[in-house]
Amino acid sequence: MAEAGPGGGGGTRYRGAFHPDTWEEELEAIPMFMKRCPAEIDAARQPELACLQSLLFDEEQGPAELARMYKNEGNEYFRERDYRRAVVAYTEGLKKKCEDPELNAVLHTNRGAAQFYLGNYRSALNDAVQAKKLKPTHLKAVIRGALCHMELKNFSEAIAWCEEGLRIDSKEKKLVEMRAKADKLKRAEERDARKAKVMKKKEQCQKEILLAAIKERNIKLVLEPSNEEEEVSGGLAEISLDGFHSDNATGAKVHLDADGNLNWPVLFLYPEHEQTDFIAAFHENSRFIDHLMVMFAELPPWDLERKYLPSNLELYFEDEERTEMYELNAEHTLLQVLQHERYFVKAGTPTVLAFVKRSPFSKKYFSGKKVHRL
């Protein structure tokens, strides 16, 4: 049945005819006139294309002929830098399992090259290995394998592959240059590994000295993280060096200064206002009152009632195991507090709580808790 043509003119076109503006695209969709074949063919949706492909790759042809056709198809995709389709084509060629080892070596080498450009270096290396097994003198496969090892930072293996290739062709420029580069990178890697080993040994030694200093002061630690807190007292003999967490979320760590004194990161908590203060290096012989004088030289913005004065504060630490509170003497040093028999340092960071004396909040907070005075 005829229908009116575009523009309302007198011309007509048959139902299903090409549209004047898109006829080239519609023609390209017809299998017989396709310039390029899709990567995947759905026989249900594209029966004509599937039929045409079956005619093109007729099973009456031998495996070698079919493999060669897929190789050529893959080469076309490779030239167009369509590496994914190239991999598919070369794979189809290998599936034909032809008995020509050289052709199979080429298919592996070409597929390896396509995988390499896709960044799939291990897959590319596997293809290079298979190609070399099939044809040990296949120089392209050896070069590709060496390149893969370079990308994977396997410099020793890259050198071995380069040397193997240079036995095939001693003047191959790519292999000569790659061999020199791999050797340079390998030596740099070994140098860095030696430096890292020395640094690790130095850090281990420093940690041992630090632990010895803590042990000497009879300071008790709680190792974290752990499902069950492990209390370590006395000589800290049970502490493994790797298990000792001497720093916190801020990155501050307990350390020994030049005079052999411990400096600790200390956290102050103000439960009433849900505020905190942090001292990155609290000298073990410094008194709490000295720090309070500096910290509250000016009233903090959250202290609207102006109650947080050094002389108006009480400091405590909590014995979590016994659910008991211990009041500190602000005139005491940090070391005196840490040496208390019920003080345990968690995560390498001593913590104290500060309250306003006799405030309604502190009375409520301590209600039902046993409080000890130092």
Interval 268-284: pLDDT, tens: 999 999 999 999 999 99
* Separation between Cα atoms, residue 214 and residue 232, nearest integer Å: 12
Predicted confidence at residue 37, as pLDDT, reads 57
Which has the closest alpha carbon to 125: 106, 101, 144? 144
Domain containing residue 259: 231-373
Q: Is residue 141 part of a domain?
A: yes
- Do 242 and 166 reside in the same domain of the chain? no
Given 165, 185, 205, which residue is the final one in a domain?
185
Any alpha helices (H) in 96-221, and if so which ranges? 101-117, 121-134, 139-151, 155-168, 173-216
Can you read off the two tokens belonging to residue 287?
């008194």
Q: Is 269 helix (H, G, I), strand (E, B) or coil?
A: strand
DSSP state of 163: H
Residue 369 maps to a domain? yes
Residues 235 and 179 in one domain: no
Residue 232: beta bridge partners?
A: 221
Residues 174 and 237 in one domain: no
What kind and span of H or E run contains 8?
A: none
Any domain includes 65: yes
Amino acid sitting at position 325 = M
- From the list 65, 58, 72, 83, the residue with the least C-alpha distance to 107 is 72
**Structural domain includes residue 24:** no
d(CA 102, CA 200): 51
pLDDT value at residue 93: 95
Instruction: Report the domain count for the chain.
Output: 2
b/e 51-79 (16+ beta carbons within 10 angstroms → b): ebbeeeeeeeeebbebbbbbbebbeebbe
Q: Are the C-beta atoms of residues 263 and 255 closer than 8 Å to each other?
A: yes
66 neighbors 105 (Cβ within 8 angstroms): no
Asked, for residue 50, whether it belongs to a domain, the answer is no
Is the domain of 63 the same as that of 157? yes
Query: Where does a domain end: 124, 150, 185?
Result: 185
Q: Are residues 369 and 240 in the same domain?
A: yes
Phi, psi of 211 (to 5 degrees): -65, -35
Domain annotation covers residue 303:
yes
The CATH number of whichever domain residue 166 belongs to comes to 1.25.40.10
- The pLDDT score that the predictor gives to residue 8 is 41
Looking at the fold, whether 318 and 251 belong to one and the same domain comes out as yes
Q: Quick check: is 20 in a domain?
A: no
Domain boundary among 152, 170, 185: 185
For residues 125 and 29, give the distance between their C-alpha atoms in angstroms, rounded to a whole number.
38
164 and 235, same domain (yes or no):
no
The answer to whether residues 243 and 179 belong to one domain is no
Q: Are residues 166 and 258 in the same domain?
A: no
Q: In what order do the strands lie in the sheet with 220-223?
A: 230-232, 220-223, 344-346
Q: Are 276 and 349 in contact (CB under 8 A)?
A: no
Contact between 109 and 128 under an 8 Å Cβ cutoff? The reply is yes
Q: What is the pLDDT of residue 349?
A: 93
Where b means 16+ CB within 10 Å and e means fewer, 314-332 reads bbbbbbeeeeebbbbebeb
Within this chain, do residues 166 and 292 fall inside the same structural domain, yes or no? no
Instruction: Quote the pLDDT of residue 94.
Output: 96
Q: How far is CA 53 from CA 29, 32, 47, 123, 253, in A?
A: 15, 10, 10, 28, 70
Instruction: Please write the tens of the pLDDT for every residue from 76-124.
Output: 999 999 999 999 999 999 999 999 999 999 999 999 999 999 999 999 9
Q: Which domain CATH number covers 310? A: 3.10.20.90
Specify if 100 maps to a domain: yes
Q: Which H helix or E strand runs over 9?
A: none
pLDDT at 29: 59
CB-CB neighbours of 148 under 10 Å: 26
Check residue 323 and give its pLDDT.
Answer: 86
Residues of the chain where predicted confidence (pLDDT) is lower than 70: 1-21, 23-60, 223-250, 374
Closest CA relative to residue 17, chosen from 31, 5, 34: 5
The pair of structure tokens assigned to 188 is 């740099």
**Are residues 350 and 245 both part of a single domain?**
yes
Task: Read off φ and ψ for residue 44, nearest 5 degrees.
Answer: -70, -40
Residues 76 and 173 grouped into a single domain: yes
Q: For residue 307, what are its two tokens?
A: 């109650």
Tokens (6 digits) for 20 = 């004047």
